[in-house]
Amino acid sequence: MKPLLQVAEKERARRRLAELREQISYHDHRYYVLDSPEISDAEYDLLFRELKDLEERYPDLVSSDSPSRRVGGAPLAQFAPVAHRQPMLSLENAFNEGEIRDFLVRLGRFLHTDQVPILHAEPKLDGLAVELVYEDGVFSLGSTRGDGLTGENITANLATIGSIPARLQAPAPGMLPARLEVRGEVCLSIAGFRELNRQRAEASEALFANPRNAAAGSLRQLDAAVTAARPLEFFAYGVGDAADFGVATQAELLAALAGAGFQLIPHGRTCPDLATVIAHFHHLAELRRELPYEIDGMVIKVNDLALQQRLGAKARSPRWAVAAKFAAVQATTVLVRVEFQVGRTGAVTPVARLEPVSVGGVTVSRATLHNEDEIRRKDLRLGDTVVVQRAGEVIPEVVKPVVEKRSGAEQAIQLPAACPECATPLVRKEGEAVRRCPNPLCPAQRLRSLIHFCSKAGLDIEGLGKKAVEQLVQTGLVRDIPDIYRLRAEQLAELEGWGEKSAANVIAAIAAAKRTRLARLLAALGIRHVGEVNAQLLARRFPTLEAISQAEEEDLLEIDGVGPQVAASLVSFFRDPATEEMLAQLRDLGLEILPEEARGENLPLQGRVFLFTGTLEHFSRDEAKARVKERGGEIATTLNRKVTDLVCGAKPGSKLTKARELAITILEEADFQRLLAGSSQGYV
């Protein structure tokens, strides 16, 4: 029996992970989808690091909808979706020399070697990642990264950028493949950013916060002529599949891209050892202020492409690369007041309002403080002079108060005892860092739920953005989700700022949203702990919404990736009479759930579930699991009747005996190697 202290610590970790998932997913959406981040990269990185640390300490608490398994955000509705043949992943971060060394240790552990591979290092440009597709050497398709699997078709806009070749040059005879997917960063120079903001100021238009936002906004113009008028540049750093080029190293790949006509990120170099990597990192940190483009770190990649393929990727990032981040830029300002916002799950979040200050050339005036503990830990007071830092060129992090500048007039920050929206007494459960409003009828929570349902993370109902939903709630036209489907064009046309055309468009969009897929509806309903990834897992396992709503916790826990917290949340949600009534109303209003699209069909190990036991000689456990997942197989953590294959290394233990009793296929490591080799034919 586990000590009570251990159980309590794990429960606190479970609750904190839930909060972190919610916060990070929100900020991912602000950054990747809306191009309107609310916190700095440094603040985001702290949240993400805390999430990963907790997940490493408690691997059984990792949920399939964890942000650690996701990349970016959903594509915008204005542009047609583009599926990437190879996922466009994000990068893990390293913040100091020790963490760069840790990256190399992880490489050696995965590859079963003590030898450090040759690396390639280059500046990390702060722009927008895009993919360019060339067919027979001609630019045919361009897209954003999007959620890593699906991006936005911005071909017409990318075609206006002069540094993107319309037709490729052949680096060598026969070297250009019939189809080539080139990846890189679209950037706006610092000088170009300042000139663009000067022009916008003269035209009384809103200024861009930083070059990255300006580049993203320029690429997402519906009129390509607007994009063409802005001084954007493209820098290539890789391809979707290096095998297309027939080269062996990252350095050779970049040389081939340069030969094909692409501009490369300057100041990149091949590094034979750790000392060279560290030296180049410090060199770039000193050089960054002289560069014409903003950089926020250095990307380190394994140079050998065969090793890159062997290392593979986790859900969110490749194992063979890391982003070493520079120290943040800091400034001081005054903490004027703290406001409290209520989220859709009832979490009350404090937001710092600051006297506007220029940090690294950008004016900032607000920062999210996360929770009560954050305020207490930093000992923040109203009227304090505070140090703020801007590592990601967005909203800053409040680092600390400057205690020496206190005059005595500063005031303690009073946290609300009651919900600022509905006056219900707030509760803070043991182990949780946030105060919550427990009132399910709280107008702020209902409003946030409605906004989420209509948003791009929900059913993506065009025309029903945040302001429109707020207006509908304020006028009393919408109180809950079914009310959205009861709206009539004549009601909307009478509202301020609307007209017959906009009203008709929204009604048409609502009608279209009556036909949706199960995974999308599950994500839109805002069930706590159920994000896009978990929604997809559920939809793949259960054929209908009714089947999910009737499932017991033990049924849900059989899904790889669904943990106790998610299962309990689902059962609680669907057993609630209010949920049953809402779903009944939606069915009566014509909601139709379409069959899920098949994904990953014809993968060689699809339908097989593998469990590993004992010590493998030729693979690390992580690499073996990665090889299975790449080929469509699933990984089990315990031995049960769903396991189809038990892979045995040295000293397999009791699992082998039990597997024989259950008539499960037993694979020695040599059998497993042959299976992988056979399943690779025609697959990679």
Q: What angle do CA 435, 572, 66 make, to 5 degrees?
A: 65
Residues 6+ apart with CB under 8 A from 258: 171, 264
Reported as type and span, the H/E element at residue 10 is: helix 4-28
Q: What angle do CA 513, 518, 523 make, to 5 degrees?
A: 80
- Report the alpha-carbon distance of residue 346 to residue 426 in Å, rounded: 9
Q: What does the DSSP 8-state code read for residue 243?
A: G
Burial environment of residue 187 by CB neighbours within 10 A (0 to 12, 13 to 18, 19 or more): buried
Range 306-310 contact pairs with CB under 8 angstroms and sequence separation of 24 or more = 306/248, 307/111, 307/117, 308/242, 308/250, 309/242, 309/684, 310/111, 310/623
The distance from CA 294 to its chain's CA centroid, rounded to whole angstroms, is 22
* Catalytic residue flag (residue 514): no
* Per-position b or e across 370-390, b if 16+ CB within 10 A of its CB: bbbeebeeeebbbbbbbbbbb
Active-site pick, 2, 52, 124, 629: 124
Tell me the longest C-alpha to C-alpha distance in the chain: 78
What is the end-to-end Cα distance of the chain in Å, rounded?
47
Of 393, 367, 391, 394, the C-alpha closest to 380 is: 367
Contact call for residues 124 and 140 (beta carbons, < 8 A)? no
CA distances from 470 to 181, 232, 465, 478 (A): 42, 36, 9, 9
The distance from CA 143 to its chain's CA centroid, rounded to whole angstroms, is 17
Task: Return the percent helix, strand and coil in the chain, to nearest 5.
Answer: 40, 20, 40
- Report the alpha-carbon distance of residue 647 to residue 667 in Å, rounded: 5
Range 669-677 contact pairs with CB under 8 angstroms and sequence separation of 24 or more = 669/616, 669/617, 669/618, 669/619, 672/624, 672/647, 673/618, 675/605, 676/627, 676/631
Tokens of residue 267, six digits: 């100041």
Beta-bridge partner residues of 154: none
How many Cβ atoms from other residues are within 10 Å of residue 228's Cβ?
16
Tokens of residue 367, six digits: 């920062």
- Report the alpha-carbon distance of residue 334 to residue 387 in Å, rounded: 9
- Report the alpha-carbon distance of residue 555 to residue 541 in Å, rounded: 10
- Which residues are part of the catalytic machinery? 124
